[in-house]
Structures are given as C-alpha cells and as structure tokens.
Structure 1
C-alpha cells in the first residue's frame, strides 16, 4: 500500500479518484495531498459551465460517480426534483454540483476512516519520480509522496496552424471557447461568427451564443461539415452484447475490415445506435489489439465518423441546432481552414480550402476554434507536462494521445518502462485506452487505481 499519495488536478477525474480513495477503510491510514489548481475543486472545465443550456450527453441513470453506485447521480437529481427520470439529459452544471458535493463530503468524512487529507489550491508545477518516491513542486513549496496520479484533464488548446499572431492578439480569434463564453455579454449586434470544428464543443458554443446574440449569423466549418448524431428520444438497450461483431473484429485486426463489419452490423440493426452502444464495453480492448499503424489509420480516416456516432447530442439540443439552420442563422460548410489574418478594418479574413479544390476567403467579426480535446503532450505549454516530457521522465504517446502508459494507468518513463509510482487517469490515457474521457470509463479507472494504490502488496512492474 502507498501510504502517502498525491493527486494532481481539480476536475471530475480527480474528484472521482479522491472520493474512491477516501471512502475505503484500510489497514493503515492514508495521507492524501490533493493539488486542485484552484478553489473550485471537483468540477473542471467539463462541468464548470453555469449555463442551463449545456446538457450532459449521457442519460442521468448512467452518470453515477462510482462503479458500486451507478445510480448515485440520479438519486441526487431526484432529491432536488422528483420529476427527473433516468432517461433525462440534465444540465452539466447540476452534475458539477453533484461531483463537488460528493467530494466535499468525502474530504470532510475522511477522518472517520482514519485518513488525512490536505487540499492544496495550487497547481503542481513539477513532478519528479524516483525509486524512493515522488517530489512535487508548487510555487515556493515542495512536498514528498510515495506515489502520484496525474488527473489534469486535457491540455490547453493551441491555435491552429495558419492563424497569424495579430489575429490572436486582436481578441477576435478565440482559441479556448470556455473562458470566452463565461465573459461574453448579450447584445443585438449583427455579428458574423465562424466556428471551426463541429463536435460537441461547437454545439455548446452555438447554443449559448445564439441565445445571447440573437442577430448573429454563424458559419461552421469542418472537414466533413457534419454535426454529432442525436440520441434517440427514448432510451434503448443494445440489441445484444456485441459478441458476434466483436469476435469477428478480433479475427482480423484491420481498420478497413472493422469499418466494413461495423457498417454491415448497423445496416442489419433496427437502429445503428444500439450497435455502437453494444461495442462500448469492448472498445478499450479492441484499441489495445490495434497495431500502431492501424491506430494511425483510424485517426486519419475514421476518427471523425466514430466521434460523431459515439458522442451524441441530446435530442432537445439537436432540435435547437436544427432550428438555427432552418431559420438561416447557422450554415455548415465542408473544408479546411488555411489561414486567419487581421484585416485593416479589424475583421478577420479566413481562407479555407474547398472540398473539390480551390480556396475561398470570407470576413468574420469573431472566429472560435472548437476542434476537440488537445492531448498532444509533445507540443504543449502546460508547465507540468513540459517539465515531465523535457526531463525525459515520461514518454509522450507517439500519436499525440496523451502519455504512453499501461492500460492500468502506470506511466512509462523515458526509456519506455512503466514507473512503479507514477500514474494517470482520464484524457491523457487516450493512447493506451482510446475511450478515456467519459464518466462511465473514468469511474472504472478510479476504482482500478484505488485498488492498486491501496493494495497491501503493491503491484510489481518492470522498472529501471
């Protein structure tokens, strides 16, 4: 058992792991240092939005915080509003309240289990693992732990290639939409806004700004010009356990073959969503089976289609976006952004390549980048990640999907060997697990990590 553990990060993954650890009885007390990075521990970016328009894209019944209590969030929501049903898509703000309340209770009650908790509202700036333990640096301070877990979420977004510095400095090119949404004021001006990317973050931006800016027109540009698929209005169970499809995929580990078999399976199903949902318990093991070259092929050619089918919009959100289009306030286009420059009149000139060849230039008042999670640990300004990578203390995932790691969360050192006492949870394990960002996967990781950290006999792994 590791008796002194450091958890680094203040979002949902950190809150889930902290709660999982503190609500267990152990033979000897646990000392936990939690570096939250700020005063609002437990919410993170995902559940920090105050907007009622931003909904969970998973039904309430599936959003429990613990594997052992899958209905915990539904019980919390029904205590507030008895009319809530398990199939409802509730506000993410409410889920943030749930996470925060549960982790606060776990911290408050830790003493009854014999545990000692130190909540530090600072960002860890350095982590140095060694055979003896882990040294964590923050501000002017430094502490020691026997093991540390990185639960820092995705990395700060970086501007896309081709965006000139002057465009960014103007404040009209928005690299990170969340601080912008938090401060954007309502007004009636007829702005022209470009959204680059069409995933769930783009949908959140459109929901919020279309309500605050009723006279704005929104163009949305992405490679394929397609929105995330919608959920069905009513919950539906997978048509089977996916066994036949999964076994056929394991027989031939090839992305082209997998896509063909997936298309065949969805074509024969009453609704394609039941096939995708039936794959969910097997996705991580399928990813593990894929050779590196096949993973790269998936990312180049099929990632966009998987993401829009796997991460879907609540039906009421899909209806709102459809109304924006039918009212002429939203236009979707296929293409790739080539450059963004600041014009003399203060607008942004955006050049994008058309699907059939050629380019076009349009002028916008504001351009907002919503291209998905940044998990590229080799190209980031995140201070802690840069320290770990430049110090050769960890190995970046070669495909830009976080850290190289074992599926159980052990990070690999600069020589590619698993570290005994340094782990990760959440978004930066996408290279090892692929599906590693949603609460149903996070809570399983938290349970597994807690088992390892608190095991009386610490698991032996190959170390240098």
Structure 2
C-alpha cells in the first residue's frame, strides 16, 4: 500500500476519497496530506450554495458519499426531519452539511487510529510526478509522496469568445455565476438580465435572482432554447436491464446508430427516462468504444440533447420555471452569442439566430454566463493545470474534456501513464464521459482507495 498520499482539491470528490481512505482498517498508519485550496470546507462549488431554492437533481436515496453505505445521506437528512423520503430532492445546502459531517468523522477516526492527516488550506503550485513517487510543491515547501490524486473539480469558467474586454471590465458581464449569487442582494429595480446557456446552472440562477429581484425579466439564450427535462414526480425503474440495447450499441459504436437505437427503445418504453437511466452503469464502457471522430460528432450534434435528458430538474423546479414563463418574466430564445460590448450603461449583444436567419441584437442591464462546467485544459488559466500541461506531466483531452487518463484514473503523458499520479472527478470526462455526479464519483473514490491501499 501507499503509505504517504496527497489529495489536491477541496471539494466533494476530494472529501469522498479522503473518507474512503480513512474508513479502512489498515495494518499500518497512513500519512495523508490534503491540500484544500482556500479553506477547510469540502462543499466546493457544487454544494457551497446556502440557498434552499437550489436542490439536488438526484433523489436523496442515491446521494450517499459511500458506495458501501448507499443510504448514508438519506439517514443523515432524516435525523433532522423524519418526514423526508428517499425519493425527495433535497437542498444542496443540506448535502454540504452532510459532507462536512462525514469529513469531521473521518478525521476523528484517523486520530483514533493513529493516522497522520494534515489538512493544508493551500493551493498547490506544482506537481512533479516521477516513476517512483510524486513531488508536491506549494510556495517554498516541497513534499515527496508515494501517490498524489488530483481532485480539483471543474476549471474556472472562461469568457465566451466575442465578449469584449470593455464588457468584462464593466462588471456587467458575469462569468462566475456562483460567486455572483453568493453576494447578490434583494433589489426591487426593474432590469433586464440575459443568461447565456440554459442548463442546470441557468436554472439555479433563475430561481435565486427571480426571488431576489422581483421586477427583473430574464432572456435565456441557448442553441436550442430548451430547458433541462424534469424528473418524474415519483421514481421509476427500468422495465428491464436493457441488455439487448446495450449489446446492439456495443456492436456498432457510431453516434447515428446509437441515436436510432435509442429512439427505437424509447418508442417501446412507457417513459423515456427508464431507457436513459438504464444506460448509466454502462456509459463509461460505451464511451470507451467510440473513436475520437465519433466522440467529436456526439459533442457537436447530440451532447445538448443528452445533457437535457440525463441531467434533469426536480419536478418542483420545472414548476417554478413554468411559473416564471407564465408571468412573462422568462423568455427563452434560440441562438448563439456572437459579440458583447458596452453601450452606455448597458451591454449590447449580437445573437446569431438559427437556420441562417441573421443577427438579432439586444441590450441588457446584466449578462450572466451559465454554460455549465469548464473542463477545457487546453485554454484554462488555472495555475496548477497550466504547470502540468506546460511541463508535459499531463496531456489535455483533445476534445476539451479534461485530462487524458486510464480507466482507473492514472494520468497520462506522451502516450504513457504515470504509475503514482491519479485524477478523480470532473476532469475524467474525456475517459469516462459521465464523471460529475456523486453516484459516479463515490464509486471512483471507492475504487481508487482500494488501489491506493492494496497490499504489495
């Protein structure tokens, strides 16, 4: 087993791995360095919100941190309210509380077991992997560890192309919606807010700002102008194991064929959600079958549709979106952002309409970029990721889906794999595709803990 391990990152994936490592009965004490970045909270961006309007988009019964204890989060939530059911969609704030509690317990167990765990609220400046270990550097300090795990979540969002420097400098164009929402105050002034993107991030922004700003109206722009699909009011399960569908997809790993097969399966199903959900355990192995050209085709033509049906809204959130539209406060538009610039005390937008219908212009008091997670290592300004890329220690996924890695999470470089340097979570999208939700991340954490602690 590795006796000294470093975890770099302070969010849910890092917390899940830390807790998995400290859950085990080990023959020798473990030395663990946890570099949490700016603080000690495991909430990260995903669960850092304090708003009860922001709900998990997975039911409570499926949100445990531990693969071996599938109802851990539900039991935690029911201690405070025994009326909570496993099918409920609970506030992400509550899940953040759960993460903090689990980490505190893991650290208590570590002290009792004699493990040496250091929680270091620092950013790591550089990682230098070698074939017999990894050097982790922050400031003037350097530590040699047996293995290191990169668990930093998604990368900081970057402004879309076409956004002028003047627009960014004005403060009227928001690239990081979560930090903006954390500081937003009630305001009764009328204003026009434009959202670029219509995924789950946009939905969270709409829920919060529509309540804080009762006289604001919202224009939401995306390629197809569609909101995420809703979950059913009650949980559903696949009618069968979809083995025939999966086998047919494996036999012909082409996106056009897969779309045809899925449409046929949906037509024979009582509800399309059961078909989509039946693919979840098989997604990594199916993704691995796709050649790069087919992956690229998927990203260009089908990604938007997959994201809508795979990452769904709770039904009460869909009801809130419909209410905003019925009140004439939310308008959805199809189009692509071409340019944003300052026009007096407002921003001026050029939007390319679909099907060659030309450019539509509009003004806004505020524009918020809500295009979802950034995983493009090739264009990031994240200092640690840039160091790893510049020094050739990690290779960017060619389609902008994180870092290239093996199926078990070992980081690749120059077509080779580092034996002691791993990545977990969002930056594994290029390898696994589905690698952002807790059900996937907790399994990654369990498998990686097994690997790190395996007896030699």
Give the TM-score normalised by structure 1.
0.97
User: 2:388 — aligned with what?
Assistant: 388
- Structure 1 distance, partners of 2:156, 2:276, is 30
Per the alignment, in what secondary structure is the counterpart of residue 117 of structure 1?
Answer: strand
Cα drift, residue 40 of structure 1: 3.7
Per the alignment, in what secondary structure is the counterpart of residue 379 of structure 2?
Answer: coil
Residues 220-259 of structure 1, C-alpha deviation per residue, up to 9 Å, x if partnerless?
A: 0000000000000011111111211101111111100000
Residues 257-313 of structure 1, C-alpha deviation per residue, up to 9 Å, x if partnerless?
A: 000110111111101001111111111110011111111110000000000000000
Per the alignment, in what secondary structure is the counterpart of residue 148 of structure 1?
Answer: strand
User: 2:245 — aligned with what?
Assistant: 245
User: 1:437 — aligned with what?
Assistant: 436
Contact kept, 8 Å, 1:22 with 1:113, in 2: the verdict is: no
Check if 1:351 corresponds to 2:350. yes
- Structure 1 distance, partners of 2:213, 2:141, is 45
Alignment of structure 1 residues 210-359 onto 2, 5 Å: 210-343=210-343, 345-357=344-356, 358-359=358-359
Check if 1:203 corresponds to 2:200. no
Per the alignment, in what secondary structure is the counterpart of residue 109 of structure 1?
Answer: helix
- Structure 1 distance, partners of 2:330, 2:148, is 46
Check if 1:181 corresponds to 2:168. no
Contact kept, 8 Å, 1:23 with 1:113, in 2: the verdict is: no
- Structure 2 distance, partners of 1:4, 1:179, is 34
Per the alignment, in what secondary structure is the counterpart of residue 193 of structure 2?
Answer: strand
User: 2:455 — aligned with what?
Assistant: 456
- Structure 1 distance, partners of 2:131, 2:252, is 41
Per the alignment, in what secondary structure is the counterpart of residue 221 of structure 2?
Answer: strand
Cα drift, residue 25 of structure 1: 1.2
- Structure 2 distance, partners of 1:262, 1:113, is 50
User: 2:154 — aligned with what?
Assistant: 154
- Structure 2 distance, partners of 1:397, 1:422, is 17
Residues 78-126 of structure 1, C-alpha deviation per residue, up to 9 Å, x if partnerless?
A: 0010000000000000000001110111012103333210000111111
Per the alignment, in what secondary structure is the counterpart of residue 360 of structure 1?
Answer: strand
User: 1:124 — aligned with what?
Assistant: 124
- Structure 2 distance, partners of 1:78, 1:232, is 22
Cα drift, residue 346 of structure 1: 1.5
- Structure 2 distance, partners of 1:212, 1:416, is 50
Contact kept, 8 Å, 1:239 with 1:278, in 2: the verdict is: no
Cα drift, residue 146 of structure 1: 1.0
Per the alignment, in what secondary structure is the counterpart of residue 181 of structure 1?
Answer: helix
Contact kept, 8 Å, 1:15 with 1:41, in 2: the verdict is: no
Per the alignment, in what secondary structure is the counterpart of residue 378 of structure 1?
Answer: helix
Deviates more, 1:197-206 or 1:231-240: 231-240
- Structure 2 distance, partners of 1:248, 1:356, is 34
Check if 1:167 corresponds to 2:167. yes
Deviates more, 1:138-147 or 1:295-304: 138-147
- Structure 1 distance, partners of 2:286, 2:269, is 21
User: 2:427 — aligned with what?
Assistant: 428
- Structure 2 distance, partners of 1:222, 1:171, is 22
Residues 181-220 of structure 1, C-alpha deviation per residue, up to 9 Å, x if partnerless?
A: 0011111111100000000000000000000000000000
User: 1:75 — aligned with what?
Assistant: 75
- Structure 1 distance, partners of 2:341, 2:240, is 52
Contact kept, 8 Å, 2:132 with 2:420, in 1: the verdict is: no
Alignment of structure 1 residues 110-121 onto 2, 5 Å: 110-121=110-121
Per the alignment, in what secondary structure is the counterpart of residue 337 of structure 2?
Answer: strand
| Backbone CA RMSD of aligned residues | 0.8
Contact kept, 8 Å, 1:107 with 1:117, in 2: the verdict is: yes
- Structure 1 distance, partners of 2:415, 2:22, is 32
- Structure 1 distance, partners of 2:187, 2:140, is 44
- Structure 1 distance, partners of 2:132, 2:440, is 31
Cα drift, residue 139 of structure 1: 2.5
- Structure 2 distance, partners of 1:448, 1:192, is 48
Aligned length: 455
Per the alignment, in what secondary structure is the counterpart of residue 309 of structure 1?
Answer: helix
Alignment of structure 1 residues 61-72 onto 2, 5 Å: 61-72=61-72
In structure 2, runs of 5+ residues without a counterpart are none
